[in-house]
Amino acid sequence: MLKAAQRRIIIPFLIPALALLGIFFLYPLIKTVDLSLNEFSRTGTMRFVGIDQYRLLTGDPAFFNSLKNTFLLTLIGSGMLFPPAMAIAWALSQRIHGERFFRFVVFAPVVLSVAVVSLMWKFLYHPTLGLINPTLESMGLGALAKIWLGDPSTALAAVTFVSVWHGIGIWIVLLCAGFERLPTDVLQAARIDGAGEWRVFWSIMLPMMLDLMRMLAILWVVQSLQTFAFVYIMTGGGPFGSTDTVGTLMYRVAFDQADFGYAAAIGVVLVVVMLTVAKLLNKVMKRDDLQY
Amino acid sequence: MTSSTDLTERPTPAGPAVTPHPPVPAPRRRSGPPRPRAPFRPHHLFFYLLLGGVALSSISAYAWVFNVSMKTNREFISSPPWQIADAWRWDNYVNAWNQANIGLFFGNSVVISVASTAIGVVLAVFAAYPLARITFRFSGVVLSTFLLGLMIPWMVTFAPLYLIMQDLGLLDSRLGLVLVYATYNLPFNVFVLVGFMKTLPYDLEEAAAMDGAGPARTFISVILPLMGPGLASVAIISFLQNWNEFFYALLLIHSPEKMPLPLGLFQLGQAADYGTNWATLFAGMMITVTPVLLGFAVLQKQITKGLTAGALKG
Amino acid sequence: MKIAHKLLAGLVVVPCLALTACGGGGGDGTNQATAKAPDAKSWQQDIKGGPIEVGVLPAVGTPSLKFMEDIAAGIEKDHAGADLKPTFANTKARPALEQRWRAGDGLDVDYTMFDGTNPALLEWADSGALLDLKPYLDQVDTSTGKPWLDQFSPAVMQFMEHPATKKIYGVPSELSLQVLFYNAGLFKKHNITPPATWDDLTKAADGLKAAGVDPIAVTGLFEPYMGMWSDNIWLRTVGYDKAHDILTEGKGNITDDPGFLKGLQMLQDLRDRKGFLKGFEGTDFTAAQAQFFQGKAGMILMGSWLVSEMADVIPKDFELGVLQFPTVAGGTGDQASMLAAAQLMSVSAKSENIPLSLEWIRRVTSVETQTRRANEIGEVSGVKGVASPPGLPGISDVVAKADRLQASYYGLMESKAKDIVYPEIAKLLFGKQDAQQALDNLDRGLRRVHGN
């Protein structure tokens, strides 16, 4: 009876959102697939070429290079993002002193625009005038000084770090919400049983937040596979393609070369890749639904 | 300049604050008064170090931006990044205010971001409910459709989107931008909210049904009040996205009187790139960032309250 | 419940299909030319008020924009009801503006819509989106007694004119020339000769090095600016037409002409002499230019816009020198030509007010306006009889010496070959490969994108 009653609300609840999604998203999406089967002139006239664009894509080293970099960025970024975000969210859930202050400052960079953050870090990374190298040198660690953005072996990590630094606040807010929702009595019970905080974290908090973690991991993958702005502003994909992501490649193809068909094909492949990765990730991280 | 005729249909956001008392006992979650500050324990040292490091980096970032906003352009170029500006130059702020049309654009930004965030969050929470809590045949398909929205890079869909906006007469209108922003918030919001709803105890609805509440009422009075943390998170994130969004604004809005703030900042950024006018850009940044930070500082109290409110009920 | 599901599916699909139906075909809206083009003889009498949107290159708050706004205000004063709205039309605004053109909603006057030397930029004209300006330019200007067209320097005609139809689709509001800037004060102090030939350049580099100054400022974070070096060297060792055909058009291979390898070797030699700024690999163009003006580097190869761009931050006592890119002894290319771009203003064929749009481009390109722009803003003009900007000492000589202006970047920026050429040059400058390896990689990449 409950089920039957609930079914009545499915449609009215879904319709408004689906209507917006249909008009402003699904329709352009269908058109995008359509675009990818065409060749474009700069003026926007198109000619149907079937799967030619996809065939071109399979032999394009720039595409595979960008795909590789995008995956690397996702991987490096998740390492830079999740451990500190988790630790900070945990810390903030501990009602430590200055919690409100810390919450505020941790979140503050999110509000800065990407352009300004990129500009600032470009100066901080500057090999001779910046902050990082001169500091390292003055500490006698000159050997660690690198041409961060100009060295193909460090550039991708350097850009990824900036994007993580800028956005970590959002992830912490999401994780904090997760910590807030943990059942206090279970945690208290564990503490009363003599479990140390570290133990509580590992054996109780983490497993209970696994669902959330899975969600965030997928979200991170999806978001970083689309990375564009930081790379575009800080390195433009260089040095020699070592930071080129699928996003920056698509931008160049679409806007510099006005080749919307090819850009759309890249986009469609990217979507397929994302769906596959998300699905895999979901499977790997899937546990029996915890209900508490 | 904060209201717009385009926006008369704007729905009021439904939130925990206006909901009646739940007809069922609150779930087994945190109870009792807020805990006092925890006494210092060894692992807190790690926390303080970590938080201190992060705090230092973000404060330095703001200090840097503020410092540059007080320099002349020549000073910016010729002095080391951390050298203190040699005078208070508030005229950079005056210039930024005038050049980026901040007074006008700020109003537009507020209207557009608030309206789109409200629409995006309200529609998403309604859509998320059946997807998370009711099993129906195509729920997987519908959910995937939403999630697909997370995965479409904007560069490919913008050309068809432009044409549809043109056909609907929504080009160069604030309403059009609001609807686009709301739509692009939906997938993320639905994704997060479905995740949150799934972790709520499954006996909530059954208990409400026992008490004779219909499903819509159960949703409004039982589920929504528990969504505090989730709603707060998605609202903040959507708002920030809408507040900072630049590309669609550039694409869809042509009249200066309808432009949001990022377009003003964009022009300042171009003046910096192609005219070394950095000081003004940084002053403009400070002007646009400060109200948002203040808003966050004030709202933070509400948000923290919202986070615990759900648990304190009953 | 099945009905409900079908309904649901229908609600998603139906609007999509409906929209597909009415949304299709919007992309080719630019194809019809309008028939309202005014008569060439009397257009100046036909100017009526009304709103037009004109693209401008400078950003808000720059003196350069203020200058343009003053011209617009002048027109508004002379023609009742005229309302000229300047819209920022530079690089980062292009995607949005081009989309407007594609949807048949382009600006009345816009930049970057046409370049007679770049096949990728002929398409708008070919599709009928742009107004052919030739009839208007051929009219005798009453104030000078000569056709309007005569006022433009012959060197810029190739940019303005469609190579096939000989129609004209743009007039230049300014030129950007690629020149070698040097710190004249520093050169004098260390008794170094400003380089006229490549040998002079390497000597100057050694001299600066010995004096403890990095010879050449360059950014490692924007590949086309590093590419300016190979572009200019190849101009000397290969020649424009050949290099353009091979790099951009795919007519022939890079191994066909030994000048390509020679150019790469010269670049490698300069690199091995430590000719480039220390840490340039991680220096962005803002910082690189700043370092030049702070005397930390002796030379910089850059567009002539450098001075107006950096005007605010150039030290008062800075002595600037401007040179043409050095010639190469024994080079089989063009020793006297110079890489340049004309910033062309094009008028939309669909403009609601073509006479007013024409009046805008006429005023911007008038000798009087161009002279004031050279003096006040420092722009190099494409109009005859306009003195060179005083901020660019020596530019007059440089322009006088140039027998021909050739298109900057060989039109690579709009081509897929850009992603082949400039990264390989960067690798060479970064010391990741030598000249021969660079040539091999270029050959492989170009053969792939051009399919030859």
Q: What is the mean pLDDT of residues C219-228?
A: 94
Answer with the residue of higher pLDDT: A182 or B146.
Answer: B146
Q: Residue C10: is its pLDDT beyond 70?
A: no
- Looking at residue B2, its pLDDT comes to 32
Q: Which chains touch A (3 or more CB pairs under 8 A)?
A: B, C
Strands C297-303 and C214-217 turn out to be parallel
A113 DSSP 8-state letter: -
Please choose, from the candidates C192, C234, C239, the residue with its C-alpha nearest in 3D space to the C-alpha of residue C212: C192
Measured CA distances, B162 to A91, A99, B158, B168, C67 (Å): 45, 45, 6, 10, 33
Any CB–CB contact under 8 A between C93 and chain B?
yes
Query: Rounded mean pLDDT of chain B?
Result: 78
In this structure, of A22-26, B156-160, C57-61, C210-214, the range with the lowest mean pLDDT score is B156-160
Residue of C283, C292, C429 to mutate when probing chain A, most A C-beta within 10 A? C283
Chain C partners of A260 at a C-beta cutoff of 8 Å?
A: none
Pairing label, strands C320-323, C171-183: antiparallel
Span C344-357, average pLDDT: 95
Structure confidence at residue B15 (pLDDT): 30
pTM, rounded to two decimals: 0.83
The DSSP output letter for C88 is E
pLDDT confidence of A191, banded at 50, 70, 90?
confident
Half-sphere exposure in the Cβ direction for A145 (13 Å, CA): 22
| CA angle at C154 for the pair C150 and C159, rounded to the nearest 5° | 110
Distance CA B301, CA C6 (A): 46
Query: Residues near B78 by Cβ (< 8 Å), separated by ≥ 6?
Result: C290, C294, C313, C315
Under 8 Å between Cβ of C76 and C83: yes
CA distance A239 to A216: 31
Partner-chain contact C430 A44, CB within 8 Å: no
Nearest CB to C5: which of B138, B159, B268? B138
Report how far residue C307's alpha carbon sits from residue C311's, in angstroms, rounded to the nearest whole number. 6
Nearest to A125 among C11, C282, C416 (CB): C282
Side-chain half-sphere of C326: how many Cα atoms within 13 Å? 25
Tell me the pLDDT of chain A averaged across its residues.
85
What is the number of CB-based contacts under 8 A between chain A and chain B? 291
- Alpha carbon A91 to its chain's center: 23
Residue C25, pLDDT > 80, answer no
Q: Residue C276: beta bridge partners?
A: C216
* pLDDT, greater one: A277 or C215: C215
Closest by CA position to A24, among listed B252, C253, C79? B252
Task: Report the share of chain A in percent with pLDDT over 70.
Answer: 97
- Over residues B268-290, the pLDDT tens digits come to 888 887 777 888 888 988 888 88
The span from the CA of B277 to the CA of B294, in Å, is 27
Contacts with A21 from chain C: Cβ below 8 Å: 12
pLDDT confidence of residue C286: 84
Q: Which two tokens stand for residue B25?
A: 């006992």
Least confident of B92-101, C10-19, C255-264: C10-19
How far B224 CA lies from chain A's nearest CA (Å)?
A: 14
Give C94's contacts in chain A (Cβ within 8 Å).
Answer: 255
B277–C61 C-beta distance less than 8 A: yes
* CA dist., res. B33 & res. B29, Å (int): 12
Q: Is the pLDDT of residue A220 over 80?
A: yes
E strand or H helix at A240: none
- Of C337, C351, C416, C344, residue with least CA distance to C155: C337
In Å, how far is A158's CA from the nearest CA of chain C?
Answer: 11
- ω into residue C15 within 30 of 0, thus cis? no
Task: Name the nearest CA neighbour of C385 among C397, C371, C399, C406.
Answer: C371
Q: What is the DSSP string of B39-68?
A: PP-HHHHHHHHHHHHHHHHHHHHHHHHHHH
Q: How many angstroms separate the CA atoms of B38 and C32, rounded?
A: 74
Chain B residue numbers touching A184 (CB-CB < 8 A): 29-31
Contact yes or no for C315 and B74 at CB 8 A: yes
Tell me if C248 sits within 8 A of C415, measured CB to CB. yes
Pick B270's closest partner by Cβ from C53, C90, C315.
Answer: C90
Contact B268 C61 (CB under 8 A): yes
At C27-57, the pLDDT tens digits run 333 334 444 788 888 888 889 999 999 999 9
pLDDT value of residue B8 = 30
Q: Residue C102 and residue C36: Cα distance in Å, rounded? A: 20
Instruction: Compute the distance between CA of residue A176 and CA of residue C66 in angstroms, rounded to an integer.
Output: 49
Cα-based distances in Å from C107 to C84, C101, C111, C350, C353: 11, 7, 9, 9, 11
pLDDT category, B31, cuts 50, 70, 90? very low
Please check whether residue A150 is in contact with residue A239, taking contact to mean a CB–CB distance below 8 angstroms.
yes
- Answer yes or no: do C293 and B163 touch at CB < 8 A: no
C-alpha to C-alpha distance for C192 and C299, rounded to whole angstroms: 12
The answer to whether C314 and C293 are in contact (CB under 8 A) is yes
Per residue in B194-203, pLDDT (tens digit) is 888 887 887 8
Residue whose pair of structure tokens reads 């022939």 in the numeric block: C252
Q: With an 8 Å Cβ cutoff, is C16 touching chain B?
A: no
**pLDDT of the residue at A287:** 54
All partners of chain B with 3 or more CB pairs under 8 angstroms = A, C
In this predicted structure, what is the pLDDT of residue B303? 61
Torsions phi, psi for C173 (to 5 deg):
-85, -25
- C92 vs B: CB within 8 A: yes
Q: For B64-72, what is the mean pLDDT? A: 88
pLDDT at res. B302: 67
For residues B47-69, average pLDDT: 87
Distance from C-alpha of C67 to C-alpha of C308, rounded to nearest angstrom:
13
| CB of B230 less than 8 A from some CB of A | yes
Closest chain B residue to the Cα of C24, Cα to Cα: B163
Which residues does B49 contact at the CB level (< 8 Å), separation at least 6?
A: none
Band (pLDDT 50/70/90 cuts) for residue B38 is: low
Please report, for residues A120, A158, B71, C39, C275, the alpha-carbon distance to residue A230 in angstroms, rounded to integers and kept in the order given.
Answer: 12, 10, 25, 50, 30
Interval A134-159: pLDDT, tens: 788 888 887 888 888 989 999 999 99
Cross-chain Cβ contact C102/A123 below 8 Å: no
Higher-pLDDT residue of C245, A6:
C245
| Preferred mutation among B30, B121, B155 to probe A, highest tally of A CBs within 10 A | B155
Could you report the per-residue pLDDT of C87-139, keeping only the tens digit for each?
999 888 888 899 899 988 899 999 999 999 998 899 999 999 999 999 999 99
| Residue of C415, C413, C407, C409 lying closest to C449 (CA atoms) | C415
Whether C58 contacts chain B with CB within 8 A: yes
Report pLDDT for C67: 94
Query: Are residues A192 and A178 in contact, defined by beta-carbon separation less than 8 angstroms?
Result: no
List, in sequence order, the alpha helices (H) in chain B. Answer: 42-69, 73-78, 91-99, 102-133, 139-151, 154-167, 174-198, 203-210, 215-218, 224-226, 228-244, 247-252, 261-275, 278-312
- CB pair distance less than 8 Å for C313 and B162: no
| pLDDT one-digit tens code per residue, A226-242 | 888 889 888 888 798 99
Which chain A residues have a beta carbon less than 8 Å from that of B186?
17, 20-21, 25
pLDDT tens digits, one per residue of B206-236: 888 888 888 888 888 888 888 877 788 788 8
**C-alpha distance from B196 to closest chain A C-alpha (Å):** 8
Distances (CA, A) of B253 to A251, B257, C442: 21, 9, 42
* A88/B192 Cβ within 8 A: no
- Give chain C's mean pLDDT: 89
**pLDDT average, residue stretch C346-352:** 95
